[in-house]
Structure 1
């Protein structure tokens, strides 16, 4: 389960255990244990009665040696299971006893680290069948343990067939983004175990856009980062953008050539190298979320082009009052409990909440949907604006001479650029050591600079700073439902022509061991957004759609499901600056 973003069908997030940590940090209660079960069949009595060890309990299972059978038909000898280590969620547990309680078959486990919110009593009868380490013991269904062991076995079998990096498809040529859609099954990126958060993020960033391409070539002195960067560039991004034929044998043994297909082993090696580079072993095999992946790239490659500053505060000489990020995690408490709103409104509200403004006009903007609490999104539905227009409320301008800002609405449009003046004045100006400000002058300072120039003034091309002319265009939406990530991505074909695509790295499976990625057209994407902003019944209708109790034979139509995913599950919204050339 994803550690931070994990939305249920009701729009709330279920917090998972997160990445592994050391020390005595307490972990969240595993998702497969239902804490509400503690209140079932609890006899009246004191807390001491509940925590007392029942030495004469006939259900005590530590001495049982007969062969048992789980609900799913797995036969096992309880004594052979003792002290086995099993991974459930993101943590390791040791089997301490087999406990048949009522009509339930349970294992008593001890966690490798303390658990939150559980006192070690049986969830069925509220008794303590066996003495377990304090804050580390709990009970889990026998079948859950065997399912985890089976999953581990399958993964080990898959690992034996992994390709080494030198056997992966590789494209050294620097290729531009795709200009036509790659469609169908076995297109895009083949999902690996627990990798969908990374598959979908990479597809959003690189398949049809080049706004992140500088990340692929940024200079680094560390060998481990150079290898990581090369793997991402040559074995994943360039292969995704290439026309090489990847020959894959499918379930009916028909050989077919795949264009724009990245095999799962490339993702496996990327995650392995990312684990080594960050020192976080959970990247290798644990389901994480895009925030953690993006933050890792930000930290490893010092890639944080989004710069913000407090309103009406000029950058100091070292730019230490500038905050840099790779993305903007928005804040909006939604005090009026609105059902829906649009991204541009949330972004502006978020800047006002802090408060902050953009110190520069960013090349791109990744906006992360706000949460009301850790486990609940602020808005049930979010409309992704196709375009966000920047203005003086969002971007901060600062005069190089007098440090006046555009925070005062009366002077907001009174800022100009003059390259000739800046070239002449820059040695005497106190400017930040980074590109954390827009070079401009207020009208008063510019007039003083131009006052004594005489005929030389003809060589000075002063222009008003047109903040409002900068537009940020939506090019991808990353969505999560429960613990599965999918993406909507824009394919920019020619000039104004484009179309929207849907990507799922794990749309289907073969023999429970091979994921089938899918890229499909979404012809109604922009129509959905337009309708959502105008039709007062759009979201109530979606609510009704969600409430309908449907048998498995009457599933949502594909169109309805994707519409729900876009507005209900949208978590990361990718925008690019239309006025920037990224080549």
Structure 2
């Protein structure tokens, strides 16, 4: 769809920008899939508000203009979108960076100024390195050569050093012209200074001598004159410190007497004067400032944003720039130094933010002192974080707050917490690049009171896949219990959504679900006792959520997971899940009626007490072709479409269930052998569309991919989880009780750890290594847990899950 076609409908819609990645449901149109991911920064037209409050939308994506995408209508959660005006929406189409689009859309002040820009306005041109240059708007219009959207043609009154005039800019803007997008245009206010260096206040020794002497003399004289009377709050004193304007004619900061005293005591004095000088000031003694030792000029450079707020009293403490503090950030307690205090563009003006330089190492969400491409201070990469100042505490005082943030073994304390509740649809965690950036402590689901069986199972089911998401959104029907919607809401909004968005769920939120399961299901002890994952699945999925069974057997039975029932084969030293699954289906004489979207397989063991095999090798790609009823199968001899099955040939002409399928010529030849003369083959049911396949066409195979392995060792459950789909997706190891702080009144710390060697241990090369291994103690820790402690394997079909 080109710009002109799309522009015809602009006036009929409301306009939005996606502020995060969002899953959408298809309403109508030509797109072949029912669920699509709306990416951060994409532009949206909303045509209708639906009955549930969501929006009927269309997407404009200049990078993907196929009609199936742009001519499809979707259902989308309005809370995940940022509303913008029509003209700003036009401007954002030209902005290619998704992050830049969101940054602009959330800055209401900037948008209000930008939508009033007209030809002839004076503006700042922001160069790629974010330097400002004076300019004048010559034109605002679409430019076909540059792509869709509205562009700004500027005449530069000041030229960057690397400026090169292009033919198109000269044609559109005239001499010294440049064509740019909204994110490089900053409206100029009448009081804007021409010199960008005046954004800072600088001091030198001589100026401090003069200005501080004048101001403190005035302050001390004023206090001595009023020492016998009450100082009124209206008594003011002008306090100005400026290198560029030492005569105090501009840039005046006004404080009342009380503020000046606090200002000197808590901020100015600790930053500039020695302790002996400070005591003289506070005792109203005269000071000769020429005798003061000053810090370097670099230490006395303070941004205007900081100068208007020297300190802030929070949490019963007075915090100011330079404080050593502890801060809650991403469920961690980090140590740092406050480098800046103030308001950030786009946020509530009443919300005070502290810029903190971390002392105890970098954080993957940290920056080098910038926020939304605006620099507030300088530091090493990933060392700067911007947090609500109420999350900051002076060093060694945070211990008084921990009890109210992290859970203890006291249920009353758990109920006091304020857990994260996130409504709407949140897609699974999406990893791009190195998985280590989301791993570490306080990641995953926090364990509490023997909850590991539930923590490991929920993390495996929901963290990185949506195959079980039907449990979160099925509407209540007449057969459901009255508490159905409450259980579903707690699972969705207090566990799954926070897990996917914050990569952390507090134990208090899981306890809410456990109490509901204890109350509503037939299984007791779910809030305190050790249980197994299948008991949890029975309680939640089967009894309370009343979900459609995941597995449908041709015996007429339905199930949510499949228990492997096999006789031990002494010839199998390290069996694979593939071998055990086919052996179990053969022994039970059953088939699946259809390919499942998910298949949960329970290993041949009974809790921690009995294991049939010392080691089992999970299969990465599970072939289920031969366990699906009426699915076309291959002849075990020639590979053509099989027409007969002979169960008595199991294992004689190949391995597993594949060895029982034959085409007619091969069946005849194989059963001429005297050992097979008395076999009784049966006719296979073949779908009609496969009976007309040419003989050279291969019979398709059906596969499920491994998504998680839940393991148990000494009564404790952990899990290995695939962080995405496809063979290249990384794996992580999750333990909800990896560490602990405190004893009886302490709390557990969950942890995610990358597992780069996971595929190796399930490969043929890994199997050869295991075959030669004589002592399991030589295995690495994660390999030993995976192979020796596997309890339950979860498989999924990416193709089938799209239609469930």
Shorter-normalised TM-score: what interval?
Answer: 0.5 to 0.7
Q: Does 1:298 align with 2:298?
A: no
> Given that residues 389 and 468 in structure 1 are in contact (C-alpha distance below 8 angstroms), is that contact kept between their aligned partners in structure 2?
no
Partner of 2:446: 190
Partner of 1:569: 789
The aligned runs of 1:394-473 (5 Å cut-off) are 394-397=627-630, 407=645, 409-410=661-662, 441-442=687-688, 468-473=700-705
Q: Does 1:224 align with 2:483?
A: yes
Q: Does 1:328 align with 2:553?
A: no
> Given that residues 454 and 533 in structure 2 are in contact (C-alpha distance below 8 angstroms), is that contact kept between their aligned partners in structure 1?
yes
Partner of 2:578: 344
> Given that residues 332 and 372 in structure 1 are in contact (C-alpha distance below 8 angstroms), is that contact kept between their aligned partners in structure 2?
no
TM-superposed deviation, 1:441: 4.0
TM-superposed deviation, 1:216: 1.2
In structure 2, what is the Cα distance between the partners aligned to 1:480 and 1:269? 24
Query: Which of 215, 219, 240 is 2:499 aligned to?
Result: 240
Higher relative contact order, structure no. (Cα contacts within 8 Å, ≥ 6 residues apart): 1
Query: Which of 715, 732, 754 is 1:483 aligned to?
Result: 715
Name the SS for the 1:563 alignment partner: helix
Partner of 1:176: 427
Partner of 2:178: none
Name the SS for the 2:785 alignment partner: helix
In structure 2, what is the Cα distance between the partners aligned to 1:201 and 1:234? 17
> Given that residues 188 and 262 in structure 1 are in contact (C-alpha distance below 8 angstroms), is that contact kept between their aligned partners in structure 2?
yes
Residues 157 and 175 of structure 1: CA distance in aligned 2, closer, same or farther (over 3 Å): closer
TM-superposed deviation, 1:164: 6.0
TM-superposed deviation, 1:367: 0.8
> Given that residues 440 and 465 in structure 1 are in contact (C-alpha distance below 8 angstroms), is that contact kept between their aligned partners in structure 2?
no
TM-superposed deviation, 1:581: 4.3
Partner of 1:271: 514
Residues 506 and 534 of structure 1: CA distance in aligned 2, closer, same or farther (over 3 Å): closer
TM-superposed deviation, 1:336: 2.0
State how many pairs are aligned: 344
> Given that residues 396 and 405 in structure 1 are in contact (C-alpha distance below 8 angstroms), is that contact kept between their aligned partners in structure 2?
no
Query: Which of 500, 505, 527 is 2:736 aligned to?
Result: 505
Query: Which of 201, 208, 211 is 2:464 aligned to?
Result: 208
> Given that residues 381 and 539 in structure 1 are in contact (C-alpha distance below 8 angstroms), is that contact kept between their aligned partners in structure 2?
no
Partner of 1:578: 798
Q: Tell me, which stretches of 5 or more residues in structure 2 are unaligned?
A: 1-406, 633-641, 647-660, 666-684
Residues 440 and 164 of structure 1: CA distance in aligned 2, closer, same or farther (over 3 Å): farther
In structure 1, what is the Cα distance between the partners aligned to 2:498 and 2:797? 26
In structure 2, what is the Cα distance between the partners aligned to 1:269 and 1:569? 29
Residues 407 and 364 of structure 1: CA distance in aligned 2, closer, same or farther (over 3 Å): farther
- Give the aligned CA root-mean-square deviation in angstroms: 3.4
Partner of 1:47: none
Residues 372 and 489 of structure 1: CA distance in aligned 2, closer, same or farther (over 3 Å): closer
In structure 1, what is the Cα distance between the partners aligned to 2:507 and 2:664? 51
Residues 346 and 545 of structure 1: CA distance in aligned 2, closer, same or farther (over 3 Å): closer
Q: Does 1:376 align with 2:610?
A: yes
Residues 412 and 175 of structure 1: CA distance in aligned 2, closer, same or farther (over 3 Å): farther
Q: Tell me, which stretches of 5 or more residues in structure 1 are unaligned?
A: 1-154, 243-258, 310-320, 414-438, 448-460, 549-558
Deviation track 1:233-257 (CA, whole Å, cap 9, x = no partner) reads 1100011001xxxxxxxxxxxxxxx
In structure 1, what is the Cα distance between the partners aligned to 2:753 and 2:631? 46
In structure 1, what is the Cα distance between the partners aligned to 2:715 and 2:597? 30
Q: Does 1:538 align with 2:538?
A: no
In structure 2, what is the Cα distance between the partners aligned to 1:528 and 1:574? 17
Larger radius of gyration: 2
Residues 473 and 192 of structure 1: CA distance in aligned 2, closer, same or farther (over 3 Å): same
Partner of 1:436: none
TM-superposed deviation, 1:277: 1.4
Residues 356 and 283 of structure 1: CA distance in aligned 2, closer, same or farther (over 3 Å): same
In structure 1, what is the Cα distance between the partners aligned to 2:514 and 2:426? 23
Query: Which of 308, 313, 335 is 2:553 aligned to?
Result: 308
Report the TM-score when normalising by structure 1. 0.54
Residues 387 and 222 of structure 1: CA distance in aligned 2, closer, same or farther (over 3 Å): same
Partner of 2:755: 522
The aligned runs of 1:74-93 (5 Å cut-off) are none
Residues 363 and 407 of structure 1: CA distance in aligned 2, closer, same or farther (over 3 Å): farther
TM-superposed deviation, 1:465: 12
Partner of 1:283: 526
TM-superposed deviation, 1:160: 1.9
> Given that residues 192 and 264 in structure 1 are in contact (C-alpha distance below 8 angstroms), is that contact kept between their aligned partners in structure 2?
yes
In structure 2, what is the Cα distance between the partners aligned to 1:329 and 1:405? 30
Report the TM-score when normalising by structure 2. 0.40
> Given that residues 708 and 794 in structure 2 are in contact (C-alpha distance below 8 angstroms), is that contact kept between their aligned partners in structure 1?
yes
Name the SS for the 1:579 alignment partner: helix
Partner of 1:146: none
> Given that residues 552 and 593 in structure 2 are in contact (C-alpha distance below 8 angstroms), is that contact kept between their aligned partners in structure 1?
yes
> Given that residues 186 and 517 in structure 1 are in contact (C-alpha distance below 8 angstroms), is that contact kept between their aligned partners in structure 2?
yes
> Given that residues 409 and 449 in structure 2 are in contact (C-alpha distance below 8 angstroms), is that contact kept between their aligned partners in structure 1?
no
Name the SS for the 2:426 alignment partner: coil
In structure 2, what is the Cα distance between the partners aligned to 1:372 and 1:405? 39
